[in-house]
Each structure stands twice: as structure tokens, then as C-alpha cells.
Chain A
Amino acid sequence: MRVALFLTCVNDTLYPDTGRAVVNLLTRLGVDVDFPLAQTCCGQAHYNTGYRHEAEPLARQFSDVFRGYEAIVTPSGSCGAMVRELYPRMGERARAEGRGDTLARTLAPVVPKTYELTEFLVDVLGVTDVGAYYPHTVTYHPTCHGLRGLGLGDRPRRLLEAVRGLELRELPGADECCGFGGTFAVKNSDVSAAMGTDKVRNAESTGAEVLCAADNSCLMHLGGTMTRLRTGMRPVHIAEILASTEEEPLG
């Protein structure tokens, strides 16, 4: 199977460890992963801030880069939801504006082939035990676009529960938003910070060493809050936990 890694612009620039973890994990599971270098950004930030027309060229570019692959895997619930939920909507809006079917037809091929990482593991590869080893206490935050957008359900939890050495602690108020919300984090920074602080306090109350999520944007916000509050917890993307093995353990 020809699988493309859509890493996302945020991970490419700020979290290369997550990208390496996805590559190592999928390679270990026998998947031939490619990283098409022409990839940049899905356009989510533009779309959600009200710049749909600026997001359209990025979406078309996404389709050009990825349409030839059998599956597109991304370690981001929100970027995955952008492609799966909002690309079809962008096509519909263009049609409603009298711009014809071109955009809808351009974007359609990539929509059903795009998978968030945990979906790809559980649904496509059919594995929950990926052979990982991670001897730490972990609490899991299901990010909003993964939880309510893509409907990831208990896939991340099943994957984490199968990791040897890992002790999973229940996060109180797990389904509440962390307060990142893209440009919301700066446009409404007071409310965003209050939400982030409450999320971090809930995570701290579990006594876990690690706060895990399937989206580094949320973890960037929560990690920045954790160090500012001097909690001693650390944020880790689920890909890095699943990539960790006894031979090559990660943090």
C-alpha cells in the first residue's frame, strides 16, 4: 500500500519528533511511508478564521500532492477533520456561489483516503497492539476535532491500553475543550488561558507524568501552560508513545 504522511505545517516546523515517530511506527508495522516534499498546509487556520477563499488554493494544492496515494495519514485530528469534513463543504459553498463543480471535483478524491493516525492503525491496519513499550503514567486528552469531528471514539484509548509498561489514568472533564482553538488562543486569550489552566489542573490531578493527545496544536497550548504553571508534567503526542519500544525507548 502506498501511504503518504501528511505531517501538517505545524508538526513539520515545530514537532519533527512526532513526524519521525509516525515514520518509525508505520515502518515497524510494515507500511511503506512516503513524505511528499511538495506538501505544506491543509488551510485549516485560514478557513476557520474566515478566509475560506485563501484556504481554497491550499486545499487544491493538498489534493494535487496527495491524490495519487492509496491512503493519507496525519497525526492531527483537526487537520484530518479539515480534509474530511470541511473540504466537501468548501466544494459545496463554491457550487452555491455559482462557481461550478470544479473545486468539489478537485477535492473529492482525497477526502475518503485521509485518516487520522489512530484511525489508520485501528481501522485500516487492524491493530491495537502496536508492540510499543512506554513505562510511564499517562493521561489522555481527546481533542475536540478528533472526538466530535472525526469521531475517533475509543481508538486512541485502545491503542494506549495495549502499550506495555504504560499506566493510563482517567482525565476528569476529558471531553471539554482545552481552549486552543487556533486564532481563538490569541483573539480571546483570557478565556483561552482560563480553559487551558483548567485542563492542565485536571491533568495534574490524575498524578500522571505525561499528558497525551493526538494533536500537537492543543499540546503546544497545554505544554506552554504547563511550563508556565511549573507543573512538572509534559505533553507527548500519541505517535511518540506508540513508536517507543524497549529497544528504542522514547522520553
Chain B
Amino acid sequence: MSGTFVGMPAFPKAAHDAVNNPTLRGNLRHATHTIRAKRAKAVSEVSDWAALREAGKQIKDHTLRHLDRYLVQLEESVTRAGGTVHWAADADEANRIVTGLVKATGESEVVKVKSMATQEIGLNEALEAEGIHAYETDLAELIVQLGKDRPSHILVPAIHRNRGEIRDIFAREMSAWGRPAPDGLTDTPAELAEAARLHLREKFLRAKVGISGANFMVAETGTLVVVESEGNGRMCLTLPETLISVVGIEKIVPTWQDLEVFLQTLPRSSTAERMNPYTSMWTGTTDAQTADGPRTFHLVLLDNGRTDTLADQVGRQALRCIRCSACLNVCPVYERAGGHAYGSVYPGPIGAILSPQLRGTASEIDASLPYASSLCGACYEVCPVAIDIPEVLVHLRERVAQGGQVTRQGTKVVLKPAKGHAAERAAMRAARWALSHPGALRTGQRLASRTRRLHPRALPGPGKAWTGSRDLPAVPAEPFRDWWQRTQGGKENGK
């Protein structure tokens, strides 16, 4: 397994391999069903959940509507508090900025808080290319990094691994990265966690530069917020002298009071906890004489397709996402296809609507993602900011199949339909014509009924996708409309 998502095959092909991998299926079934049940319980304890969900949605929509204003306010607040704000239009620019900032410190190592934004831009690879080693300190990210693997879940990146596999990765790989795993390491959770603690401790104590993302940025005070479970984030945010945070521009909330809503909905939706163990908040830099914390703070505000996404009336709701991953945990497709099949650091239902918007629909994988759903609606039901994921999926299917106007780098362009949809388009048009003419429909039905003894049990071509795993329904001797006309709705002739 390679460390990047470049050149991924279309979703159905990647999913085919996952569906036929019993270890992966078992790991995912166990993990998603466990968290699914816990989330349902944690949410059911809150009597005003529906109101919190609506409030979260409205706060996000309001902020996105006035993002220009709040971004400038945030920059002023952060600057006032001693931080420096950088603006990055895309991944390359963000990577250039961060690499330059690390180099300026003279350091060749950084410790990292788990961050989706830095994964999205491939920061670790960009730093490595400049001779800077980035150490992931979140337990699951550490497992992924040591295993030369890719994350497969937003919250639990190593969800596809079981304890035995993790033990093997630690025993095999830790020594090349620092403190080796203890001899005779078993697969008990306590031993695995202790091995990770010892391995990471020396990294925390040595690091001069920390890199993070943020769950929220409060515009009124310039405060950044990271919620986490392990305490590794707190270490990275307080020990190093220099802190660099890379954050998507949609992570703003206007005020502390707005934060109140999300600090209730996020933990319950993600880890199914009433409150997450560590909530770290920092505002600019800290005076060395009085407190722990960074002496130098840089905030890199990342666009990377977000402004273009914001321009789309239907698709923009994806920017409400607070990365809780409740939609992954309830998704029957994610449970069977696994996170890697989505070809992005954002897997599952939210990934299927985010990736084709942030990256466009030109690649095979991105054009296939809007179809990676049965539209069952379980994702929409659990989403704490009420993103109607099925609505956006259908909207993006339209974009793939029919083309249409989109915004790219701030300019309106008209997309052509994606490749491979010409036959489907013709079939849909023909079906629409037949269905617009009841007589044509009836002729087709009668033909099907008359030839029903001749129908093959296995279909050729695209039909194989049905008959490969399912029998076809038997065509009846006459369609309903013929019975209705013959018997006047059963009034004549009995039945």
C-alpha cells in the first residue's frame, strides 16, 4: 500500500477488493457497529438534540455567507494576539509556506497533532522532500505512519487494522523511527498504548516545532480550538517553541457562544462521548515568563477549493462539516468498501461529496465518488450540522453525467460530461421518451411478457452486474394495465 492517493482506480474497482477481504470486513463491521450504537445512545441523552443540530447548521451557514468578513476579523484578532497569519490558495502554496517556516527555525523535525487539513495537502510528504521529518503523535496516525499505510477514517485512521496487526507494525517498525517497541509486546490495548507512549514521549520532549490543524477558530478573539482524546495534542500545542496551524477557511465560528453548540454536538457525534477528554484553546503566542505555550505562532489559512465549493448553491453545505465522522460510521457502503476505496483523506459519505468538489471531477476516482452511495439517507440523519449528503450526491451525479457550470479558481467554467456516460445518457433519454408515451410503455411491457419464456437467466454486458449475484424477477404473463383494462379493475371477470 502506497502512502498517497495519487492514481487511485474508480470506486467500484477499489471496493471490489475490499468487499472480498474478510479481515478488513470483520474489522470494519466490528468497529462501525460498536461506535454506531454508542453514538445513538450519547445523542439520545440530549433532549434538545434537534435544536442543537439546527443551531449548528445555522451558525455554519451564517458564517459561510459572511466568510469574507469573518476571515478578516480573525486575521486581525490573531495578529493582535501575537500570531502571524498566512493565506494559502492551494495545497502547494500551503506546503511552501509551512516548509519555509520550519526551515527558518533551523529544525529538521516536527511533531504533529492529528490534522485533516495537513493530510489533505500532503504536508508530511512535502516536508520530507525538504529533509524535514514529521512525526504523527495521534495513536492511530502513528499506526498509519509506521505501517506506511494510508488513513481510512477521519476520526480513527487505522480503523481497518486490528490489534494483532498493530502489534506487528509496532514490533517491526518502531525501531527505525526512534525508541523500539518493548520485547515480547502483546496485542493487549494497555501494552500497545504504553509502547506508543514511550515511543512518542521522546519526540514530545525533543521537538521545537509543532504542527496542528484546528477544529474551530473563533473570529472575535482569534482563538483556535483542538478537541482530542489522547493528550498528544495538548503536548504538541504547549511544549514546542514554534506552533504552525494549518486550517481550512471554513473552520471559523464568529463567537465563543457559537462554540458552545459544537462542543456539545461534536464529541457525541464522533467518539460518542459527552465531552472529549482534552479541549485545547490558544490565542496567539504565550509569554515565556508566565505560562506554557508557543513563543511563535503561525496560522496558515487554507482555501484549496473551498471558495469554489462555496460558489455552488447545492454543494456548499458540505463546508458545514465539522469532521465528526458519524456519517462514516453509519454508512453501509463505507462499512463494506472501507475508507481506502474513496481515494482521499476524506472517505465515506462526506468524502464522496467533498473530494469531487475540492478536487474537481476530472479524475476517474473523483468522477466515481458521487455514485458510491445507495442514497439510503442514514448519513443525513446522523449529521450534526444537517448536511443533506444524498442531495449533494445526486447534484454531483448530474455534474458528472451532464456537465454544467462550476467555479474553478474563482472563475466560472462549463464542464463537459465525464467520459464513459454516453451510453447511459442515450439510455436515459430513450427511457424518458418511452415513459412519456404510455403506448410505447405498453408495447414494451407486452413484448417482455410474450417473450418471457425466452429470457436468459444470466444477462450479458452491463446486466451481468445484476445477474452476477442476483436472479432476475420473472416477467408476469400480463402487465397490470392490461389486467385493469380487461377486467375494469377486477369488476368484470372476477380477477
Residues of chain A having any CB pair with chain B under 8 Å: 7, 9, 11-17, 19-20, 23-24, 27, 33-35, 37-41, 43, 45-55, 57-58, 61, 89, 93, 96, 144-145, 148-149, 175-177, 179-197, 220-221, 223-225, 227-228
Contact = CB atoms under 8 A, between A and B. Distances in A.
A177 B378 contact: yes
A188 B11 contact: yes
Contacts of B470: 193, 196, 221, 224-225, 228
B287 interface: no
A55 B471 CA distance: 28
A151 to B, nearest CB: 11
Contacts of B480: 7, 11-13, 15-16, 19-20, 35
Nearest to B434: A40
18 contacts: A11-B480, A14-B473, A17-B476, A40-B438, A47-B394, A51-B428, A55-B432, A89-B391, A93-B314, A184-B374, A185-B465, A188-B371, A188-B372, A189-B465, A190-B15, A191-B337, A196-B469, A224-B466
Contacts of B333: 188, 191, 195
Given A33-B489, A35-B481, A194-B19, A53 B336 contact: no
B483 A16 contact: yes
A49 B332 contact: no
A54 B425 CA distance: 10
B45 interface: no
B475 A186 contact: no
B301 interface: no
Interface string B484-495: 110001100001
Interface stretch (B118-126, B192-200, B232-240, B397-405): B397-405
A192 B463 CA distance: 14
Given A23-B490, A40-B435, A228-B470, A195 B336 contact: yes
Nearest to A36: B438
Contact of A228 (B11, B20, B469): B469
Contact of A186 (B370, B462, B478): B462
Contacts of B231: none
Chain A, interface SS category? helix
- Dominant secondary structure of chain B at its interface with chain A: helix
Interface size, B (range): 35 or more
A50 B391 CA distance: 11
A92 B19 CA distance: 39
Contact of A223 (B396, B400, B445, B473): B473
B429 interface: yes
Contact of B438 (A38, A51, A193): A38
Contact of B490 (A20, A47, A148): A20
Contacts of A11: 480
A194 B19 CA distance: 7
Contacts of B370: 50
Given A12-B480, A191-B333, A52 B489 contact: no
B484 A35 contact: yes
Nearest to A144: B376
B374 A195 contact: yes
B481 A176 contact: no
Interface centre among B378, B473, B481 (most CB of A within 10 A): B473
Contacts of A57: 432, 436
A176 B36 CA distance: 12
Given A19-B484, A148-B376, 19 more contacts: A7-B480, A13-B445, A15-B476, A15-B480, A16-B480, A37-B481, A40-B436, A43-B432, A51-B402, A58-B435, A177-B378, A180-B374, A184-B374, A188-B372, A191-B336, A193-B470, A194-B19, A196-B469, A225-B470
